[in-house]
Structure 1
């Protein structure tokens, strides 16, 4: 259930380490349900969505700010995109929800559907006139390693990112979770080595979720000497689309384009579908005529 999904934000070692961890099983389950993704794509989209949530927690200062992670690796899944905001809300889309790649060593072949020949970009919308975007070449197509590479390369912040999705044989999502640990200036070599050792000894994120290990307990394993919990808040799937928004979008097309749509529509209604949540909105001929009038 999404109600059990939440994020924690913390610092450790006198503020020289920042850490974030989340359980997002319900979020990824909702993405899978809405898009009808096949297993490897469920994992790829879910990892990207959790990456967006973790990055948002690490970089956004206001609730109405937003951050988008986009992955284009050249694989059969096509473009993968997830947008999260400062309220812990996320939505996502994928070009081909039913892409498939043969499993590797009994595990979902995420890199096989994502591809490895493209890029990962992060765009921050801070509510200003311009957005801020950084882009790096994909390193693995596994998403987690690529997210960590982005932070190290683009943000100059050495980071560990782990995100995982466990999909059952029937295609449903059984577990999804992850964490982000950022090393800040002031750490000595021994402290860094100890953090890396503890991170390396952690089980896979989905194993932790399936064992009932919560985000706080994940951080306890990385920082056994203690950490300062700064925040704990729910994360959830949310798409702000509405009939009113799509009406405004159609009006913005202009009179000529709206007239063309009306003339070419063979049915009595025009259907518009949100790519993020697959919600369909229907506009009758009378609705379209009113929209056309508003566009004049």
Structure 2
């Protein structure tokens, strides 16, 4: 099975760290799994590329990055989740939207996302995950991610992300580049990197044209010393136990209504679309037991 890739490297002069992403396999699968139209797929695809890049850069063996995009636009809520061991999953609450554009070949993500917040959750294996929340600058995601790094982690960064589609709506390419300036970088190198990133106006097209992730990044930024790679595939960690906990958290009256109608209680995972079904009579028995124990 083809997997998405994240490459980690340094610019030849050592002034910046580079994370290059090819998320095409995962984004293509997400589009099919959730039945997404082009614009919601572009939103989720960019968010997924960002989550993969950040997860690949964690310095722990078993870590996870979750990005939550909460805008007031019609796209609603989008979540991308990626683990250091190469597992990823994601969803967006609105599956179909018109293909709004802001120019030839430019999807209008800002109109779809609206105003809101980007939340970054890092699970580093500590007692509690590290959470940060920043206001969205544009809803285009790349600019919002760079703003997060500048405000929450004090790391000067530049980011370019994109998802490219055929006229029929097929995903042709998906990915991008995240560049982070290192302490001690020369003004000359910083200026050169800024110039190169500004010139990268269509990263998904450049990625498709380059033919490989390495060639894409090096054409964009010049010589890169590659340090490592993480490959990602879609995978969900939902379980019957987790779904049962959600079912048990439902109001007792709602569970009883399912029983009256002779219907099972269904819990569907937003990430993988798997449906879990439970007997309402047994759920009510368990609810009563938990309430008796003070555990609900």
User: TM-score of the superposition, structure 1-length normalised?
Assistant: 0.87
8 Å CA contact 1:247–1:291 kept in 2: the answer is: no
Report the alpha carbon displacement of residue 248 of structure 1 after superposing the two structures with TM: 4.5
Note closer, same or farther for the CA distance 1:73–1:244 as it changes in structure 2 (3 Å cut): closer
8 Å CA contact 1:67–1:125 kept in 2: the answer is: yes
Q: Partner residue of 1:139?
A: 137
Show structure 2 runs of 5+ residues with no match.
Answer: none
8 Å CA contact 1:101–1:113 kept in 2: the answer is: no
**Alignment counterpart, residue 242 of structure 1, candidates 239, 242, 248:** 239
Other structure's SS at 2:73 match:
coil
8 Å CA contact 2:8–2:226 kept in 1: the answer is: yes
Q: Partner residue of 1:277?
A: 272
Report the alpha carbon displacement of residue 137 of structure 1 after superposing the two structures with TM: 1.6
Task: Please give the per-residue CA displacement for 1:157-176, whole angstroms capped at 9, x wherever unaligned.
Answer: 11111111112333332211
Note closer, same or farther for the CA distance 1:205–1:222 as it changes in structure 2 (3 Å cut): closer
Partner Cα separation in structure 1 for residue 213 and residue 38 of structure 2: 24
Task: Please give the per-residue CA displacement for 1:181-228, whole angstroms capped at 9, x wherever unaligned.
Answer: 11111111111112222333346221123224322112322453x432
Q: How does 1:250-261 map to 2 (within 5 A)?
A: 250=247, 253=249, 260-261=253-254
Partner Cα separation in structure 2 for residue 169 and residue 99 of structure 1: 16
**Alignment counterpart, residue 205 of structure 1, candidates 203, 206, 214:** 203
Report the alpha carbon displacement of residue 87 of structure 1 after superposing the two structures with TM: 1.8
Report the alpha carbon displacement of residue 62 of structure 1 after superposing the two structures with TM: 2.3
User: TM-score of the superposition, structure 2-length normalised?
Assistant: 0.87
Q: Partner residue of 2:87?
A: 89
Report the alpha carbon displacement of residue 243 of structure 1 after superposing the two structures with TM: 2.3
Partner Cα separation in structure 2 for residue 246 and residue 181 of structure 1: 39
Count of matched residue positions in the alignment of Structure 1 and Structure 2: 288
Partner Cα separation in structure 2 for residue 44 and residue 237 of structure 1: 17
Other structure's SS at 2:2 match:
helix
Q: What is the CA RMSD across the aligned residues, in angstroms? A: 2.4
Note closer, same or farther for the CA distance 1:280–1:202 as it changes in structure 2 (3 Å cut): same
Other structure's SS at 1:186 match:
coil
Show structure 1 runs of 5+ residues with no match.
Answer: none
